[in-house]
Amino acid sequence: MLENISTAKVAGGWHKQYSHSASSTRCTMRFAVFLPPGASETNKVPVLYWLSGLTCTDENFMQKAGAFKKAAELGIAIVAPDTSPRGDNVPNEDSYDFAQGAGFYLNATKAPYNTHFNMYDYVVNELPALIEQHFPVTDKKAISGHSMGGHGALMIALKNPQSYTSASAFSPIVNPMACPWGVKAFTGYLGDDKTTWAHYDTCELMQQAEQANYLPMLISQGDADNFLEEQLKPQNLVDIANTKAYPLQLEMHAGYDHSYFFISSFIDQHLLFHHQFLSA
């Protein structure tokens, strides 16, 4: 049962927040949806799924990215889930980069997190089924995200190439097995066996990708991002893409940092990138 939390008209369309009881995460989850003007049961529209970064909720992108005008113009719905399960019964840590607010879009296998932290199943299976059941959208979808959410978007697209038309990311964590954020999260959620980590690492997944399953990908990265060298490491993915002739485009932007000022500056480009494949 969906519970409508808020509704606001914007750019001729509607932004709405909902909560629901999720079977994959065994708790109440929240998501936001933007429906462009004209979306109806007789005029269903494609969807861009947006995955946010550490400490974020569904609200950060919807309130700060400035995506609605271009999405309305292009006729694209946007769905933004929360970044993790939440609630009094959900395990948490006194840390911004692990547990609540930091689900890393994987299925945890290590107790106590394996009960609730199944964000991969939620994003890939449960949420799209819910959206397609209750909203005027087609089954055509693209995926994008920022930082931890950029990791999620690229990783999910590589693991499910038949489910998405395209993938993009802002400042993504492309090689979590090789950076402090990823090592902490993977150890805590998956344990010490690094062969299981590889199932959620974009670099490892691209290395294994077959050409028949290639998806167009766009990455935007600011060169003034404080996390660029230690956490994000985009060149690691670019090197693999070049070796495999994978259709990945990395755009470096001088002076931009890791914030939503950067995202809002280039979100229209990402929407146009996805539109060409969603409308094909």
Catalytic (active-site) positions:
147, 225, 258
CB neighbour burial string for 121-144, b if at least 16 within 10 angstroms, e if fewer? ebbbebbbebbeeebbbeebbbbb
d(CA 148, CA 51): 8
Backbone angles phi, psi at 203, to 5 degrees: -60, -45
Contact 6, 17 (CB under 8 A): yes
Burial class (CB in 10 A: 0-12, 13-18, 19+), 9: exposed
Amino acid residing at 38: G
Per DSSP, helices labelled H in the chain are: 59-64, 68-74, 119-121, 127-134, 148-159, 180-190, 194-197, 202-208, 234-244, 260-278
Among 82, 59, 53, smallest CA distance to 152 is for 53
